[in-house]
Structure 1
Amino acid sequence: MALISNSENVMPEIALLLLTEKIRVTLANGAADQAGAHFSKHVTQLKYVEGSMGRVVRELNVMNNVLCQMDIQNCNNQVYEGWLDEVRKIAHAIEDMVDEYLYRVGQEHDIGCCFYLKKGLRKHRSLLSLNQIASNMNKIEKDIADLWEMINHWVAMINNGDISSLNYLDEEDLVGVDKNREMLEQWLGGDEEVFSVIALVGMGGLGKTALAKNIYRKERHKFQCHAWVSISQTYSREDVLRNIIEELFKNRVSFLSNTAAMDIISLEDVLRTFLEAHKYLIVLDDVWTPEAFDDLSRSLIGNKGSRLIITTREGYVAALASQGHILTLEALPKDEAWDLFCKKSFTRETNHECPEELKALSEEIVSKCKGLPLAIVSVGSLLSMHEKTVEKWRRINDQLSWETRLDHIRSVWRLSFFYLPIHLKSCLLYCSLFPEDYRFHRKKLVRLWTAEGLIEEEGASTSEEVAEGYLKELVNRKMMQLVERNSW
């Protein structure tokens, strides 16, 4: 059964994920070795085909990483979208070749992921198809090489600044944050003798970075020095240290020139020595793992009165903050979501009032944004550029594909998705088989995952215990929303 060819709009990263898993299972099954007795004269050719598959898998894994990184900054670019279409076509072609290979050469037993092999020798003409399969795989490898040439050209364009970057939530779009802002101000201005770590946590699109930036700009003058550094999912510790030092010493050009040749140990020593003598405010924006936090924070001396702010999507990263200093951001309530939508959609109307004839359509659109400020701002900005007529807005509302049109939120979600371990990706993709807003029951979901073979063995733990751990991790990563608890 074809898994990725059924949808023209499937995200290419997901197509590559499913395809690489399919090839991995095929190679792990060792069809060439198993078929040796029947195809003794063709084992060399079989080995060539599987060798080609192995090379393709390695290329696809690297390509998937490139897609994950580039997609965040290339939304709505037609040239880039055209390149993605070529990636999809190659993925479909590879899948066809793998299916043909399994049909001709496979043997019977369940190898997972709904790929079933048929046992024994097929019709004699199956041997003749090996030449065609090998030829097609060779062409696919050449096509992948051509794609890399295209992407190399793209990298040059990106470095030259030809690509528009993703617009995150601006500080002016912050709505309903007064209490959170007051809390942050209180924590930043607390006991002068105590060093504290403050965490802002919540799913992508809630405005963590915007709120942190707002409070950083407002309160940084109270500290002797300050620095803002973005971490994200991939980072270089040396680069982060250099960025912090550059911000702390931005007015001392001669000193910064001396740090250019320093190794990481020297950079750490310089930073520690400086921070020991100063009260500082440092923000680490978008920290993904506890290891990343530990890796960076050990260079940041906890001087008296200093503050370290981290923003993160992960609850277990936020847990590293000082006791009582975790601020969890939530979706906007209906009234505040409506106010923000009107502010972005009706920029020229008096008091940003929604025309009466557009109110019903506008309320429907706002409800689809689920209270996410970034989604509301994105859609509101889009609508503000169109005529304020019922016909026009109804057409836009009907034609909007909420998974592909909300490019900012799609990118935020993609970044979260592709940072998941492979076993969690499979479980999350399984959940997408259910209707929108479907409420899963914990026991039922973990049993379904187990029955589908999505749970890996872990020591003496039962499959359901492991599955429960998967579920908790998805909730902690903000990929699934906990809506109701029982007595347990």
Structure 2
Amino acid sequence: MADAILFGLAQKMIENLGSQTFQEIGSFWGVEGELEKLKDTVSTIQAVLQDAAEQQSHNHQVKHWLEKLNDAIYEADDLFSEFYTEATRRSLVSGNKVVKEVRTCFSCSNPLAFRYKMSRKIKAMRQKLNAIAEDKNKFNLKVDNVETNDMSRKRETHSYVQGEDVIGRDEDKQKVINLLFDSNVEENVSVIPIVGIGGLGKTTLAKYVYNDEEVQKYFELKMWACISDVFDLKIIIEKIIASSSDNALDQLQSQLRKKIDGKKYLLVLDDIWNDENWCELKSLLMGGSKGSKILITSRLRLVAEITGTVQPFSLEGLSQEKSWDLFGRVAFKKGQEANNPKLVKIGREIVNMCQGVPLAIKSIGNLLHLKKKESEWSFVKNKIEANVTQWGEILPILKLSYNHLPSHLKSCFTYCSLFPKDYEMDKETVIQLWIAQGLSNHQTKTNN
């Protein structure tokens, strides 16, 4: 997905080069012609970036071309930063406009030397990017109609879910609840793993159970913690007791024991990827009264077998009927399904290929929601057919949804990969970061 960041940088360069401020600065220093040529070169390259990104997985030459381009675009971005910073330092820029009258101090700093230096650097950068742009012709890359950001608008899980939004899991919910209420166990605290491949809805099922009215009455204390791939004992205990991260580990352990000792509690440990430190954590959790339960979700059966005190609950895909129900809710507007028998036929074929995986079904449903033409639906179906060959292979489906995002939205999406896994993002902060990086604008923020 680094191609999306590359696209975003190219878009930022084009916008800067086309701005009135850059044009006036370029005119003042006599480099406006070079800047305009550079803008045309970057625009030419940007137009084929999407096709190049799709080809790089099976074409090593294209991949190498993108790597060279990536280095050059970053160099160009640094050059423009130097250019603009120098203009600001010399008091050529006031707000977003070029000052018409040059201040006295400007004449003391040898502007001719700087003009020559920048002109030479910009020309060299243009020649470098021109050479890369010419290389693209070797690959027969398709030109994409580039969208502008004017169009646009953590996995730290939480415990809440709307029951009516959960489709096809009522039976699974009842089975898990029966395990929670089972008193015919030797241990005071028993561990129940839910295991299944990614995208099946393990977390959703755990939420569905966690928020059940009878479950709420049954347990004196309920807690939720998302674990993910870092099984750090201190962090996990902090999440469980919602305590300050400044507390030492021994203090946290003491707080946890006080919180649960003698109480019949339910604890959900969501998305466990390894069993490191499990024994130590488990020993801290054994102080609950009889009937306490720990519900674990994991993709890995080995983790489920090591942590569980009962047989893991294996979550399967949705039935054909429920899969179609979920897809229909997402892909069709109300009443649209009955009026589009051809789309229904293609949709059912797509749902079959999703193998009952809710995440894949919803992703493709969202992708098709605004597409009305049979040809568009057939194109998506053929893409899935070409990439999904066996059970559990939902990543190509999710990648297909990503590929169909507008390019400026790909940049925003990819930017989020810079955050650590399970990082809880604040929407307004992320939007401001997008704007600061030139990936979005103020209009995007106000519309979303």
Q: TM-score, normalization: structure 2?
A: 0.49
Which structure has more RCO (C-alpha within 8 Å, separation ≥ 6)?
2
Q: Kindly name which structure, 1 or 2, has the bigger radius of gyration based on alpha carbons.
A: 2
